Amino acid sequence: MTWDTALLGFAAGLLISVVTAPVGVSGAVFLLPVQLSVLHVPSPAVTPTNLLFNVVAGPGALLRYRSRGGLAGPLTRLLLAGTLPGVVAGAVIRVFAVPGPRVFRLIVAAVLLPLGVWLCARALRPAPRSAAAPPSRRTVLALGLAAGTIGGIYGIGGGSLLGPVLASRGTPITQVAPAVLASTFVTSIAGAATYAVLALGTTGDIAPQWTLGLLCGLGGLVGGYLGARLQPRLPEPVLRFLLGALATGLAVLYLIEAAR
């Protein structure tokens, strides 16, 4: 690995995490196209490399949220109950029967685009607090399982999907962010370990690119801590607009990639 690649990986992890950590997104979903198109990480090694980024970057934001008592809540435990088995299933699917990346991009765009636009509109014209009821335990568990499976397949952590959905159902961003980041961190450890085990008996580029994943993660570690520090200074409508803008931007990005 050259020095410019190493510095680019560190800088990308830092800048992305500063923006995404306040709303509970690890940043891996935005790092994925950078790794594929700029850093040229081969597939499927890009998935465990992205999961490694989550593992290294996660503690930066989590330590900051822990100091405010926002981690060990029922939402975190419920998400983990779904995402942990999901990420193991996703890793197996990724190695042996992965769907094409174009299909994935189209699905993600179809989910995130309307959610992102709706969140932005709601942030600009807030609805009454009683307009949306928080999701049920069964719904949160199902969302966690789906996000964990998608995260295991594509190494995106699942926060980019969980955050907008939970926020759109009325859950405050101040509760969503630490819970989603905590589930992403623990799930990424399980996912990276699953890929390491699968790499022992499978040919091809399955193991993560350790050096690049660690450098991106170190950048994310610093950026995540800084982003988590910013969250208390940002009003709820601003956080919702930021999450909606990130979701919309990601959907547009993936639509462009799928059209190529």
Residue 7 has pLDDT above 60, yes or no: yes
Which DSSP string do the residues of 184-238 spell out, in sequence order? Answer: HHHHHHHHHHHHHHHHHS--SS-S--HHHHHHHHHHHHHHHHHHHHHGGGS-HHH
b/e burial code for range 53-87 (CB count within 10 A of at least 16 → b): bbbbbbbbbbebbeeeebbeeebbebbbbbbbbbb
Cα-based angle 36, 21, 58 (whole degrees, multiple of 5):
75
- Rounded to whole angstroms, the Cα distance separating 163 from 149 reads 16
Identify the pLDDT of residue 18: 92
Residue 201 has pLDDT above 60, yes or no: yes
Q: Which residue has the higher pLDDT, 65 or 203?
A: 65
pLDDT (tens digit per residue) in 109-158: 887 788 788 888 878 876 555 455 678 889 999 999 998 888 787 767 67
pLDDT (tens digit per residue) in 73-96: 788 899 999 999 998 888 888 777
- How far is CA 168 from each of CA 47, 68, 72, 165, 221, rounded to the nearest angstrom? 28, 24, 22, 5, 28
- Rounded to whole angstroms, the Cα distance separating 132 from 238 reads 18
9 confidence band (pLDDT: 50, 70, 90) = very high
